[in-house]
A and B are shown apart, each in its own frame.
Chain A
Amino acid sequence: MGPALIELKGVTKTFTLESGREFSALSKIDLTLREGEVLALLGPSGSGKSTCLRLMCGLYEATSGDVLARGQKLEAVNRDVAMVFQAFALLPWESVYRNIALALNPLNLNEDDQHERVKRAIDVVGLEGFEEAYPRELSGGMKQRVGLARAMAMQRPILFLDEPFSALDVLTSETLRQEILRIYVSRKTSIRSMLLVTHNIQEAVTMADRILVLGSNPGHIRAEFLNAIPYPRNEEAPNFKELVTRIHSSITESYMPDVPEETVPARPSEAKLRPEILPNVPMIEVVGLVELIHSHEDRVDLFSLSEELGYDFGHTLYLVKAAELLDLVDTPKQRVILTPDGIEFATADINMRKRMMHQALGRLNIVKIATDLLKESGIVRLPVADLTAQIQALLPTENAEHIVASLIGWGRFAEYFGYNDDTKTIYLDVGQEVQQ
């Protein structure tokens, strides 16, 4: 492995939200990108992988810690890096040719050299004949090729790929992935290292030599996997599948540990009511999930579930976790099994389901906290801000606003709470309010 091209040393990045609150995207990250490797940052949305990438190329400044490029502290943008963007980042009012040539303007080349380089880049990605086209005339895959050609034309040693295939359909992205790999392996261009940001495990294993799994709230590195399978990689090969499974289980374990989380034996009054961290998924999807598992004879494998749903793995995990909180499923190891309640739920009619959900919600700590707040203050309508503050105090590291938003969604679905957006308050006794 070659020398370090970019290093993050104890880097923390915080943003100030519109509400004025500080939001910590990354916390104390240590990370190195070396010459001759393809590194993948893998994680669900909100794990700060894009922030990480933007810190490494100098688009963001670190709040604390050091960003080093070839051993020097990075003061401006990193001139070693070219980037391919998620939404292509092409100028809609310029032709394909001009879009690529624009990247060469800062180099002050003479006209012939510039033309030569643009032509070569167009040739490498197979865009001949589209020089005069405008981006809006191209399909998504072709647009991303323009983005790729532009990055190639810059002739920089490092290529950053910021979820470059997530806006494309499956077939197109597969083709483009293979093409990028072929270009990289052929060594015919300037690119010596690549950094890929993705939430797709297969994609990371297909492309990367080294995979870093990121966790959220705030973003941190959770695990590292080395991948020595030679290119081109076959998704059906046993060693490929084995690595995918290992990464899957590592993510699953951290989200849904089989051993219950250690409850801090603090003062008893505090310890007994720790609000659950409600995943931000709509209840209707949880209902669909339970029905789907029921149609698979009440038990499925977590990976095949994710594939069947067509969601990325992180979202599938959130869904399963939501169902688990409502006692509808159980998750021993990598399996998802319907509980007796879950089976009853799957076969029940709509009214029965609402009743069951009503009861399940009533068992949650966070719901108890909300009802206690209502009772203590002797009011009928509880301002959401008060509840959010309470949850934030109990879960200082979590995003309380998201949790309360989920709670409102679930509570409304199960007719447990009502919520009025004008007054920003929640209330019990939904039926009574409607009659008024």
Chain B
Amino acid sequence: MLHRSPVVIRHLFILDIIIGLGLGTLIYGLILFAGQWHATFNPSYQIELHSGSLPLYALFSAMRGLGAYLVSLVFTVAVGYWAAKSAAAEKVIIPLLDILQSIPVLGFLPGLVLGLVAIFPHSNVGLELAAILMIFTGQVWNMTFAFYSSLKSVPGDLQEAAAVMCLSDSTKLMRIELPFSAVNLVWNSIMSMAGGWFFLTVCEAFTLGNQEYRLPGVGAYMAVAIERGDTRAMLWGVGAMAIIIVTMDLVIWRPALAWVHRFRLEQTLTGGEDQLINFVYNNSLFLRFMRNFFVKLSRRALLKTDSKRLEIKIPVPTFQFAVLSKWLRWPLAVVLLTAVIWGGVGLINSLSVLTFANWGEIVIDTLLTFSRVAAAVMLSTLWALPAGVWLSRKEIRLRIAQPIAQLLASFPAPMLYPLVLGLTFKAHIDFSVGSMVLMLLGVQWYILFNTLAGGLRISREIYDSMTLMGSSQRDLWRYLYIPSVFPALVTGWVTAAGGAWNASIVAEYINYQGSTLETRGLGALISRSASKGDFAMLSACLVVMVIFVVLLNRYFWDRIYRVSQKRFRLDF
């Protein structure tokens, strides 16, 4: 039964119409999307730059992103859980994730596309799956890491409680571990989704050897618009992408955040309440009906299992993951080992055709790209650090700035490249520098975003004490602001540097107004090798890039991070 106060009924009608329309669009989109999958194989979809075709493209892109996210979620829970529970698996999975994380999407592209198209030669299924999996590679690693570390940090008392209650592994996962990780997982999903969108232009439109591939979607639309130099279409594409991001934020992430808020361990009175979501949730007849329905359903299920448990007084024997793991251990190890040997031999074989000069070129280009990465991170810090601290000093500024920074950080920067390129050309900036500006475009938001959050750590009382002393702005920055935000800033740097390495692939090599813009750098080398189908060169570049990035993380960022955590701890 529904109990409504009379005040509520006024909004109910409009809200439910909006929700109904949304659901209708979703179902319609799913049907069209399914049709596209089953259509006969068409590797190079004819993209129309007419703005009227954009809604459909946007819907398709959104579906791919969501599909990829679902795969990421399943992968995250399965692999993250496995790594957290099995010490042997942990030793393999965690370094592997570290490596996979530093492989740009182009590294997965040839294998996925050629393989899946070969499996489904007559329909678009293979190509679509390849696109989804490429988006997946932009999302998943980070999420798995986050879930794994959440599982590892389940508090001891909860673990002990589970042990005392003799919970089976599956009940423990559902009742303790998943709820505990929920907040972290949702926040990470938001960031990972942004990571997935970053290469949308590449995932939906790419060249492999002699074959051009295009899928109907916003990414391909943008790629075509950029190639033809159609500024009007580019702006339309940017708008469509922005709408996808904002809609997902409203329809998926904000409700998800409001929902997981209940799983927080610390009991705070305020914060986490989302007025808009509460309003919609409490005032929509449809959502209330669904809620009541599910609550009753779960209650009934709960009562059933609980009473059963009371009767027999023995924990119901449910699925134990340890058993599965024991059975799977050896076969899996054999499969993995074979794959590693086979892949290693293949890799060495393909790399053996490269000359000494080739390797020299790769190393020099790596250093060139490295200098761009460093410059982009430093320049971003120059403006984003002061801005972030300034914004976080007043609650009102923070409340306006934070969602904007979050949306800007979620927007795939490569879609903005051509618009910014026009400006750099007008300012007569050489493309070797211009490509650094493009890298900066995407990564600066990570630094702003993190310093914003770090700014909240600035102690009000210490600030008051320094104001009373009459401390100068210089002293405030040197002794209070920068040390307070430093750990967050380091996190921002690591994310930004990682993003910049990835971005180099699209920032150093662009199909722009019918010609190819290119400057020397590892990113350009990777892009060129992929589009020429020079797989030996491509693998060599990827190997160098992975080694370089992993070493940088291990021996540079990791150290700085640990030092900053130790030195700039806030607890006394």
Q: Which residues of A are interface residues toward B (Cβ below 8 A)?
A: 18, 54, 57, 59, 77-79, 81-83, 85-94, 102-103, 105-106, 135-136, 138, 143, 150, 154, 377, 379-383, 386, 422-424
Residues of chain B touching chain A, judged by Cβ–Cβ distance below 8 Å, are: 3-7, 262, 270, 278, 282, 459, 461-462, 464-472, 475, 479-480, 483, 567-572
Kindly state the separation between the CA atoms of A386 and B465 in the bound complex, as whole angstroms.
42
Docked-complex contact A102 and B3, CB < 8 angstroms: no
Check if B3 sits within 8 Å of A86, measured CB to CB: no
Please determine whether A85 and B471 come into contact, CB atoms closer than 8 angstroms: no
* In the bound complex, CA of A59 to CA of B567 (Å): 29
Selected contact of B469 from candidates A18, A85, A103, A423, CB within 8 Å:
A103
A106 touches B468 (CB 8 A): no
* Contacting residues, chain A, for B464 (C-beta < 8 A): 54, 59, 83, 85, 89
Q: Taking A90-B572, A423-B282 as contacts, is the C-beta distance between A377 and B6 under 8 angstroms?
A: yes
**CB within 8 Å for A83 and B479 given contacts A136-B571, A377-B6, A379-B5:** no
**B462 & A91 in contact (Cβ 8 Å cutoff):** yes
CB of B3 within 8 A of CB of A136, answer no
A106–B472 CB distance below 8 A: yes
Provide the bound-state CA to CA distance between A92 and B7, in Å: 52
- Bound together, the chains give a CA A105 to CA B472 distance in angstroms of 8
Chain B residues with CB under 8 A of A138: 572
A103 to B467, CA, bound (A): 10
Check if B5 sits within 8 Å of A386, measured CB to CB. yes
| B459 cross-chain contacts in A, Cβ below 8 A | 89
Residues of B within 8 A of A86 (CB): 461
Judge whether B5 and A383 touch: CB under 8 Å. Answer: yes
Q: A85-B461, A93-B567, A379-B3 are in contact. Are A143 and B471 (CB under 8 A)?
A: no
How long is the Cα–Cα vector from A92 to B486 in the complex, in angstroms? 13
Q: Please tell me if the beta carbons of A93 and B467 are within 8 angstroms of each other in the complex.
A: no
Subset of 14 A-B contacts with CB under 8 Å: A88-B461, A91-B462, A92-B571, A93-B568, A103-B469, A106-B470, A106-B471, A138-B572, A143-B572, A154-B469, A377-B5, A380-B3, A381-B3, A386-B7
A85 touches B572 (CB 8 A): no
- B3 neighbours in A (Cβ, 8 Å): 379-381
- Option from B5, B461, B467, B569 in Cβ contact (under 8 Å) with A136: B569
Give, as a whole number of angstroms, the nearest-CB distance from B378 to chain A: 23
A79-B470, A379-B3, A381-B3 known; A102 and B572 CB under 8 Å?
Answer: no
* Residues of A close to B282: CB separation below 8 A: 423-424
Pairwise interchain contact A18-B270, C-beta atoms closer than 8 A: yes
Tell me the bound Cα distance from A150 to B462 in angstroms: 12
For A82, give its contact among B468, B471, B475, B480 (CB under 8 Å). B468
- Which residues does chain A contribute within 8 Å of B568, judged by CB atoms? 92-93
Given contacts A91-B479, A136-B571, contact A83 B462 (CB under 8 A): no
Q: How far is the CB of A228 from chain B (nearest CB, A)?
A: 31
User: Chain B residues with Cβ under 8 A from A83's Cβ?
Assistant: 464-465, 468
Interchain CA distance A138-B471 in the complex, whole Å: 25
Asked if B570 and A92 make an inter-chain contact with CB atoms under 8 angstroms apart, the answer reads yes
For A88, list chain B residues within 8 Å (CB). 461, 572
Known: A85-B461, A102-B475. Is A92-B468 also a contact (CB below 8 A)?
no
Pair B462/A89 contact, Cβ less than 8 Å: yes
Chain A residues with Cβ below 8 Å from B567 are: 93
CB distance from B77 to the nearest CB of A (A): 25
From A81, A103, A150, name the one whose CB has the most chain B CB atoms within 10 angstroms. A103
Give A18 to B4 CA distance when docked, in angstroms: 27
State whether A89 touches B571 (Cβ < 8 A): no
Is the CB–CB distance between A59 and B467 below 8 Å? yes
User: What's the Cα separation between A435 and B162 when bound, in Å?
Assistant: 27
A89 to B282, CA, bound (A): 43
Q: Is the CB of A57 within 8 A of B571?
A: no
Q: Which of B4, B469, B483, B572 contacts A379 (CB 8 A)?
A: B4
* Contact A135–B572 (Cβ < 8 Å): yes
Cα distance, A408 to B6, chains bound together (Å): 22
Closest 8 CB pairs of A and B: A89-B465, A106-B470, A89-B461, A380-B3, A103-B469, A136-B572, A381-B3, A89-B462
| B468→A59 contact, CB < 8 A | yes
Residues of A with C-beta under 8 A to B479: 91, 94, 102
Residues on the B chain within 8 Å of A79, using CB: 470
A135 proximity list for chain B (CB < 8 A): 572
Task: Give the Cβ gap from A3 to chain B, nearest Cβ, in Å.
Answer: 22
CB-based nearest A residue for B474: A105
A134, closest chain B residue (CB): B572
In the bound complex, what is the Cα–Cα distance between A82 and B467 (angstroms)?
Answer: 11
Q: A18 to B272, alpha carbons, bound, how many Å?
A: 13
Cross-chain contact of A77 among B4, B462, B468 (Cβ < 8 A): B468
Contact B469 A92 (CB under 8 A): no
Report A212 CB to chain B, min CB distance, Å: 22
Residue from A91, A382, A424 in contact with B480 in the complex, judged by beta carbons closer than 8 Å: A91
Q: How far is the CA of A135 from the CA of B469 in the complex (A)?
A: 19
Which one of B5, B461, B569 lies within 8 Å of A92 (CB-CB)? Answer: B569
- Specify the chain A residue showing the minimal Cβ separation from B399: A18
Q: What CA separation (Å) do A424 and B5 show in the bound complex?
A: 12
How far, in angstroms, from A59 to B460 measured CA to CA in the complex?
A: 11
Closest chain-B Cβ to A127's Cβ sits at a distance in Å of 16
A57–B4 Cα distance when bound, in Å, is: 52
Hey, which chain B residues are within 8 Å of A90, CB to CB? 462, 572
What chain A residues lie within 8 Å of B6 (beta carbons)?
Answer: 377, 379
Q: Contacts A18-B270, A136-B572; is A85 near B470 (CB within 8 Å)?
A: no
Q: Which residues of B contact A380 (CB under 8 A)?
A: 3
Not counting A77-B467, A91-B479, A136-B572, a sample of 6 additional A-B residue pairs whose C-beta atoms are within 8 angstroms of each other reads A85-B461, A91-B480, A93-B568, A379-B3, A381-B3, A424-B278
